[in-house]
A and B are shown apart, each in its own frame.
Chain A
Amino acid sequence: EIVLTQSPGTLSLSPGERATLSCRASQSVSSSYLAWYQQKPGQAPRLLIYGASSRATGIPDRFSGSGSGTDFTLTISRLEPEDFAVYYCQQYGSTSVTFGQGTRLEIK
């Protein structure tokens, strides 16, 4: 089973700043099968990015994804107040799915 490790655990930034979130896999992941989700308190997760770099429907272009192999990144170019939430990466491989442990993005 592939383990996804997200860093940092918590990221403290101010609105307008750039956020860079990391997701590292214990073995190589197909970029096609790497996704990112946003979760706000009391809500279900929301798909942001699939295929490592494709934005889901309705997701603002300040969100971007990149990476390949074992290292993937979610970047939020200019933080808006509504972007402060928990972010998860997820992979599918060998018929199994795993999520990272999440990065909490909090207001500084």
Chain B
Amino acid sequence: QVTLKESGPVLVKPTETLTLTCTVSGFSLSNARMGVSWIRQPPGKALEWLAHIFSNDEKSYSTSLKSRLTISKDTSKSQVVLTMTNMDPVDTATYYCARTTYTYYYYYMDVWGKGTTVTVSS
């Protein structure tokens, strides 16, 4: 059974750096054409893709947030880490990680974690 679980702080202060960890099970981060994406959702709003990383260490970032994001993985620990610098109250959201399949033919996120809610407030 494939599962993903997000973990990290519930509350961060403005200007701080957020570090989120996605721990996966049921598949390996070294599986070809498979990786993990981070997506967030502010309360009552739409989904927003943040970044993805694949088994070959290929990374991509949201154009609007690229300067603030870093994604990395530790295959031996089955973990993907996302850091977001200079947090602001508008970054308050539920943050999801999702298994992502990328082949020549398809790109999709087929298994999602339950999400972790992060509030930015002083």
Residues of A within 8 A of B (CB): 1, 32-33, 35, 37, 39, 44-47, 50-51, 54, 56-57, 88, 90, 92, 95-102
Q: Tell whether, in the assembled complex, residue B49 and residue A98 are in contact, meaning their CB atoms are under 8 Å apart.
A: yes
A46–B112 touching, CB < 8 Å: yes
Q: Max chain B CB contacts within 10 Å: which of A56, A57, A96, A97?
A: A97
Q: B107 contacts A92, CB within 8 Å?
A: yes
Contact A44 B107 (CB under 8 A): no
Are B109 and A47 closer than 8 Å at their CB atoms?
Answer: yes
Chain B contact surface mostly: strand
Q: How far is the CA of A39 from the CA of B115 in the complex (A)?
A: 13
Chain A residue with the shortest CB-CB distance to B102: A92
Given A35-B107, A92-B102, A97-B49, A45–B112 Cβ distance below 8 Å?
yes
- Chain A residues with Cβ below 8 Å from B115 are 44
Residue of B nearest to A51 (CB): B106
Give residues of chain B (83-122) contacting chain A, Cβ–Cβ below 8 Å.
96, 98, 102, 104-110, 112-115
CB distance from A35 to the nearest CB of B (A): 4
A96 to B61, CA, bound (A): 7
> Of A47, A99, A101, which is within 8 A of B108 by CB?
A47
**Distance from B91 Cβ to chain A, minimum over Cβ atoms (Å):** 17
Q: Which residues of B contact A98 (CB under 8 A)?
A: 49
Task: Give the residue name and chain of the A residue nearest to B105 (CB).
Answer: A32
The answer to whether B46 and A88 touch across the interface, beta carbons within 8 angstroms, is: yes
A51 touches B110 (CB 8 A): no
Closest residue to B64 on the A side, CB-wise? Answer: A1
Q: List 9 A-B contacts (CB under 8 A).
A: A1-B63, A44-B115, A50-B106, A90-B47, A95-B60, A96-B63, A99-B47, A99-B49, A100-B46
